[in-house]
Amino acid sequence: MTLRFVLVRPRNPLNIGAAARAMANFGFSDLVVVKPFAPVWRETTSAPGAEELVRNARAVSSIDQAIGDCHLVVGTTALRDRRSERPVVALPHLGDHLKKETPSPFLAPTGSSFRTALLFGPEKTGLSGPYLDRCHFWLTIPTDPACPSMNLGQSVALCAYEWARVLGTLAVRPLPGPGPLATQEDLGRLVKHAMDLFEAADYLPFLPRSAQERKIRRLFQRWRVHRQDIQLIHGLFRFLKQGLTGEKPRGQKS
């Protein structure tokens, strides 16, 4: 499946650049601009990382040229007081609608011959009736009724994200985690070191050593200590013990 983003009569080159960058963020590259405001539509400085996408964008003079080879056409609209003459799908429900209402080739892997056009209207007015009439369904982004319309670049970004999510093409990188938890052997050494520190500080002398060990072990288990933190804790214990006993750190001369 290929998804084409069609910007109808955009006037602000910054919005075109922002739309192009959003497309690139989510792996889309087919951009067509219908009746752009000449001659400034390519004068964009807001598409870092998507400069080639802007250079390769096609400018056409009619909507027919933009969508003529597409199998599915979707129009974006804030609705306002517009009468719904097509199925209206809220962006969060896009995946469910596509699976239910569109032919299976739509959700085929990248490279299939099924082409979809996603239309966005001018910044001030949005898509007008003649453009929406060419769409199979309308897509709307849920917003606060007091401010229903969105900036063109932001609308493209949200739709590009959701479409990539539905198609399963989002490149989700695993976030770095804290690493593995400490093993029981790691905790055993840490407990022993803590008990040595308690003894040096004469802390909780009224508790038997076995009771001290249980308390310390329970504490470390509740903390769910990670292995990458073990050496730091051992270092802290050594530093505190040296302060209590007057021992010199390893390698330090008298």
Name the domain count of the chain.
2
Give the largest CA-CA distance in the chain. 89
Range 62-66 average pLDDT: 95
pLDDT in tens, 70-127: 999 999 998 877 777 889 999 999 999 988 866 555 555 444 578 999 999 998 889 9
Is residue 252, in this structure, part of any structural domain at all? no
Is residue 13, in this structure, part of any structural domain at all? yes
Check pLDDT > 80 for residue 194.
yes
- CATH, residue 108: 3.40.1280.10
Containing structural domain, residue 207: 184-245
Angle at 135 between CA 129 and CA 138, to 5 degrees: 85
Kindly state whether residues 146 and 228 are assigned to the same domain: no
Kindly state whether residues 188 and 143 are assigned to the same domain: no
- Give the pLDDT confidence score for residue 31 in this predicted structure: 95
Is residue 215, in this structure, part of any structural domain at all? yes
Asked which of 167, 201, 233 is the last residue of a domain, the reply is 167
Check pLDDT > 60 for residue 51.
yes
Kindly state whether residues 87 and 196 are assigned to the same domain: no
Range 205-229 average pLDDT: 90
Kindly state whether residues 191 and 138 are assigned to the same domain: no
Asked which of 107, 138, 167 is the last residue of a domain, the reply is 167
Kindly state whether residues 157 and 221 are assigned to the same domain: no
Is residue 66, in this structure, part of any structural domain at all? yes
Kindly state whether residues 122 and 18 are assigned to the same domain: yes
Q: Which of 195, 197, 221 is nearest to 208 (CA)?
A: 195
Is residue 104, in this structure, part of any structural domain at all? yes
CA 90 to CA 88: how far, in whole Å?
Answer: 7
Kindly state whether residues 98 and 15 are assigned to the same domain: yes
- Give the pLDDT confidence score for residue 249 in this predicted structure: 56
Asked which of 167, 200, 230 is the last residue of a domain, the reply is 167
Range 206-223 average pLDDT: 90
**Which of these ranges, 4-8, 45-49, 65-69, 95-99, has the smallest mean pLDDT?**
45-49
Kindly state whether residues 122 and 226 are assigned to the same domain: no
CA 205 to CA 161: how far, in whole Å?
Answer: 61
Ramachandran class of 174: left when φ > 0, alpha when ψ lies in -120 to 50, beta otherwise: beta
Are the CB atoms for 159 and 204 separated by under 8 Å? no
CA 149 to CA 171: how far, in whole Å?
Answer: 29
Is residue 172, in this structure, part of any structural domain at all? no
Kindly state whether residues 201 and 92 are assigned to the same domain: no
Kindly state whether residues 138 and 205 are assigned to the same domain: no
Is residue 177, in this structure, part of any structural domain at all? no
Sheet holding 88-90, edge to edge: 58-60, 30-34, 2-8, 115-120, 72-76, 137-140, 88-90
Helix, strand, coil abundance in the chain, percent, nearest 5: 45, 15, 45
Check pLDDT > 90 for residue 11.
no
Is residue 254, in this structure, part of any structural domain at all? no
pLDDT in tens, 141-193: 999 988 888 999 999 999 999 999 998 888 777 777 778 889 999 999 999 99
- Give the pLDDT confidence score for residue 254 in this predicted structure: 45
The pTM assigned to this predicted structure is: 0.70
